[in-house]
Amino acid sequence: MNASGIKFGLGVYTTLFLVFLYGPLVVLAILSFQTGPEGGPQFPIIEWSTYWYKHLFGLTPPSRIAPLPIDQGLGRSMLLAMMTMVVSTILGVTAAQAFRRRFTGSGVVFYLIVLGMMVPGVLVGLGMALVANTLGIERHWWGTAFVLHVVYTFPFAFLVMLAIFNRFDSSVEEASWSLGVSPARTFRKITFPLIFPGVLSAMLFAFTLSYDEFSRTLFASGRDLTLPLAIYGTFSVEVHPNVFAFGVLTTLFSFALLSVYAVLMGLSVRRAKRIAVQEEA
């Protein structure tokens, strides 16, 4: 096969791959514009409408279909994801910083940390529930579930930061020390700005993983439901296109988050170039 043939083949393969990847999402998005309240979650589209979006926000006249119980769940999941993001990222950065030098038992500690993302979520969730019951600790999304979210996302943040530090040239830190700058200030002024793109990635990982975490939260969150649990709860009755509408909105939210990430990343990378451009102008 010649080179252009290979190129064409790879192009077709990539297209199919993307279709496969985003097909389900597109179907969801289309069905979310089904008419309501009589339209169901299947083709064909009886009539195009934004009924289910209005339904989400309670803008439709009352009908037999109950509104999605998401308002509280959404707030909880957001807050939980934020808390998890902050704690996991701080832990990940500091742990990775510690691993820049080998210490006694560093091999064992490494695997213990990484284990947090390996063990099956349902088991950890169940285990946490049993431990909490035995010790008489009340289960809450901001307590037991939060701990599990950190255990789960911290290894991701840790591995991201480990990769960043692996490529980090520590002679800039030594240069700073030799200029009389203390190690703490060196970290703040030199190390942190240079690893910041990695920190952003770690934050993104922690947030998204926590935001839609299901299996660990299922047993550990107690009475008040997080967003994934609340949505799953509605499935047990009957599925309406309002879930799809909500899916589309959360996806848009995720894109917004990604855009913020991309902009911040671009700013930190481009700062140096911009200085150069000003100089030449």
Partner 1 sequence: MSAVLQLSNVVKTYGDLRALDGIDLSLPDDSYVSLLGPSGSGKTTLLRVIAGFEPPEGGTIRFSGKDVTNTPPHERNIGFVFQNFALFPHLSVYDNIAFGLVNRAVDPVTDPKLVDRKVRDMISLVGLTGLEGRATTQISGGQKQRVALARTLVTEPQMVLLDEPLGALDANLRARMRSELRMIRERCGVTFLHVTGSETEALAMGDTVLVLDRARIAQQGDSDTIYNRPCSPAVARFLNCYNLFSGKMADGGFATAQGLLGFQGQPQRAADPAYAIRYDRVDIRPAGAAVTGDEVQIEGTFIASEYTGSAVNAFFSLDDGKVFEVEAHLSHRAPENHEPHRRYALAWKREDALVFA
Nearest to 95 by CA among 82, 112, 81, 80: 112
Q: What is the chain's Cα-based Rg?
A: 24
Our finding on whether 7 is near partner 1 (CB under 8 A) is: no
Read off the tokens for 77: 């999941």
Taking residues 47 to 76 in sequence order and writing x for each that binds partner 1 by CB under 8 A, - otherwise, the string is ------------------------------
Our finding on whether 266 is near partner 1 (CB under 8 A) is: no
- Is residue 198 a contact partner of residue 163, using CB atoms and an 8 Å limit? yes
Q: Is the CB of 112 or the CB of 267 nearer to partner 1?
A: 267
Q: Is the CB of 175 or the CB of 256 nearer to partner 1?
A: 175
| Stretch binding partner 1 (CB under 8 A), from 35-43, 101-109, 189-197, 212-220 | 189-197
Our finding on whether 242 is near partner 1 (CB under 8 A) is: no
- Helix %, strand %, coil % for the chain, to 5? 75, 0, 25
Select from 177, 232, 253, 255 the one that contacts partner 1 (CB under 8 A). 177
At position 267, the amino acid (one-letter code) is: L
Select from 179, 235, 236, 237 the one that contacts partner 1 (CB under 8 A). 179
Only one residue has tokens 């109950």, namely 66
- Is residue 144 a contact partner of residue 134, using CB atoms and an 8 Å limit? no
Number of residues that bind partner 1 (CB under 8 A): 26
Binding-site ranges for partner 1 (CB under 8 A): 169, 171-172, 174-183, 185-186, 189-190, 193-194, 271-273, 275-276, 278-279
